[in-house]
Structure 1
Amino acid sequence: MSDFEKPDLHLPAGSTAGGPYAVDIGPARTGWGYTSLRVLELPPGGSHRLETGDSEWIVLPLGGGCTVHTHGELFQLHGRDGVFGGVSDFAYVPRDAHALIASGAGGRFALAGARCERRLPARYGPAPEVPVEARGSGMQARRVHNFAAAGSFDCDRLIAVEVLTPGGHWSSYPPHKHDEHLPGEESELEEIYYFEIDRGGTGYQRVSPSRPGGADLLAEVRTGDVVLVPDGWHGPSIAEPGHTMYYLNVMAGPGAEREWLIRFHPGHLTDGTKGYR
């Protein structure tokens, strides 16, 4: 992976905008190999043509609904009012494909992508089939939407989940990492965090080095901000009291197996467990 200086890890809202995208991040910008995220904004009646190239993509409504038309398939995404309004349905679009995304009422749509080798079929992901996980307890309790987790939905390399952290809570805790290939213990994955905070609130994201010269960040994050995690211990993610924090995690890496294997920071494990508290 490429080395990143501290200013490159936190990308404030609008700093990567271009054309129809409020966020446009991929290997050409980051210098890494696999992971991409775009946030597409469509006005009422708007449409956008997506050329997938060498990447697989998931179209995930953040607010509003749309249709996704690709290679003879037409998927109607009912979407949601916003990211705090529950689970959304989604569409998978394979590499080497053309897709037309259109929205009668307009909306905002995350395009989570990963460079890949296999060309899988285009598919629809129904909202009722998305596994919802209550993770952690006490002030570390949060809700995870595992819509494209490794064990929930078939992709070639892409892994993506949503996390909702109540105000005053910590998530991505204990701090963990996935920047080495250690069979059965850790997988090498690049990661993007995209944030939204309800009612104009703020949050905080920590990334600390796992190696000399590695990623090091403590950032105040707001709606539309992005944090890049090329390596390092990431977490905690901290929500301001009274303001729920949402983030979309997009991951991919070079491993032969699509898996999310993580190691936890030993300084934050007090009960001998290897899982999230």
Structure 2
Amino acid sequence: MSDARVNPVVPRGSTAEKPFELVITPETAGWGFSGLRILDLPVGTRATFRTGGEEMLVLPLAGGCDVTCDDERVTLTGRRSVFSRVTDFAYVPRDATVTVRAPSGGRFALPSAKAGRRLPFRYGPADEVPVELRGAGQASRQVNNFCTPGTFDCDRLIACEVLTPGGNWSSYPPHKHDEAGDGESVLEEIYYFEVAAAPSGSPGSGYQRVYGHEDRPIDVCAEVRSGDVVLIPYGWHGPSMAAPGYDLYYLNVMAGPGEREWLIRDDPAHGWVRGLWTGQETDPRLPLTSTTERTRSS
């Protein structure tokens, strides 16, 4: 992030720009590659937009939709919520006209990245999304690797979903990816959050930590609620903290100037924590979701 005046915490609705509830572009973020838009469509409505120089995904957060790209169309089954199942998705290339139509309404994330190549419009089936369980004990979490290197081909875009059971920490130990070399790649990152509601329906919250290193200051310890975003231009980030009783979801969107690879370096002050996981069981609540619809309400 070249402009230190940009606030890394983006509350829900604060960057609305019709037809989108949230708009983050490389220009508004003050960096070079990563972006995200959130589209909330009432029943029977549609939105049409141009991708310009960005490749994008259409990722259902709630509901399903038809996605038309130029003269081709795919139908996304979607899901009831991010806490109900793993979803299918669509890839749309740069320099395309896209229409998203939601006969039953829905909410959709459009992670994006500045792209050099124009790849084909494609459908990503839910049953081909690798679901990974990381960590152990109270650092256990689920990662849906739907658009990571080796699982789905893009020019620059990397995206995944992380689900953390209530009371657990994820993105831990703190790590960074802002310098090339030594097992580390340069990636700008966006965290988009949703928090499972209480049984009464009242909203929950979680927390996100980001802090700087050397001559790159940044200091964030923020409460986050559904629809909020945290921008991570550089520095150590983590933990992402799920409050007891409230499962936490976040969508990670990453892109950078180098080869499309996701390489991180742990904060050396805390990397030793990984050694504690040896012999610990994964949280038995995981996985929270699969490609089968979850029966517990969220």
TM category (shorter chain) comes to over 0.9
CA contact 2:167–2:245 (8 Å) conserved in 1: yes
Matched, 1:201 2:194: no
Name structure 2 gaps, 5 residues minimum: 198-202, 281-298
Aligned length: 273
Runs of 4+ in 1 over 6 A off after TM superposition: none
Summarize the alignment of residues 44-59 of structure 1 with structure 2, pairs less than 5 Å apart: 44-59=43-58
CA contact 1:215–1:229 (8 Å) conserved in 2: no
> What's the CA shift for 1:260?
0.2
Distance 2:219 2:151 in 1: 31
Distance 2:225 2:273 in 1: 33
Distance 1:272 1:79 in 2: 35
* Residue of structure 2 in register with 1:217 after alignment: 220
Residue 18 of structure 1 aligns to a residue whose secondary structure is coil
- Across the aligned residues of Structure 1 and Structure 2, the Cα RMSD in angstroms comes to 1.7
CA contact 2:42–2:106 (8 Å) conserved in 1: yes
Provide, for residues 119-146 of structure 1, a one-character-per-residue CA deviation record: whole Å limited to 9, x for no partner. Answer: 1111000000000001111000011110
Q: 1:192 aligns with which of 179, 185, 190?
A: 190
| TM-score using structure 1 length | 0.95
Residue 266 of structure 1 aligns to a residue whose secondary structure is coil
Residue 259 of structure 1 aligns to a residue whose secondary structure is coil
Matched, 1:2 2:2: yes
Distance 1:49 1:71 in 2: 11
Residue 101 of structure 1 aligns to a residue whose secondary structure is strand
Name structure 1 gaps, 5 residues minimum: none
Provide, for residues 187-220 of structure 1, a one-character-per-residue CA deviation record: whole Å limited to 9, x for no partner. Answer: 0000000000011111110001023242221101
Q: For the structure 1 residues 187 and 213, does the alpha-carbon distance in structure 2 shift closer, same or farther, using more than 3 Å as the test?
A: closer
Distance 1:213 1:146 in 2: 30
1:48 aligned partner, one-letter code = A
CA contact 1:216–1:232 (8 Å) conserved in 2: no
* Residue of structure 2 in register with 1:70 after alignment: 69
| TM-score using structure 2 length | 0.88
**Sequence identity (%):** 58
Residue 105 of structure 1 aligns to a residue whose secondary structure is coil
* Residue of structure 2 in register with 1:265 after alignment: 267
1:261 aligned partner, one-letter code = L
* Residue of structure 2 in register with 1:136 after alignment: 135
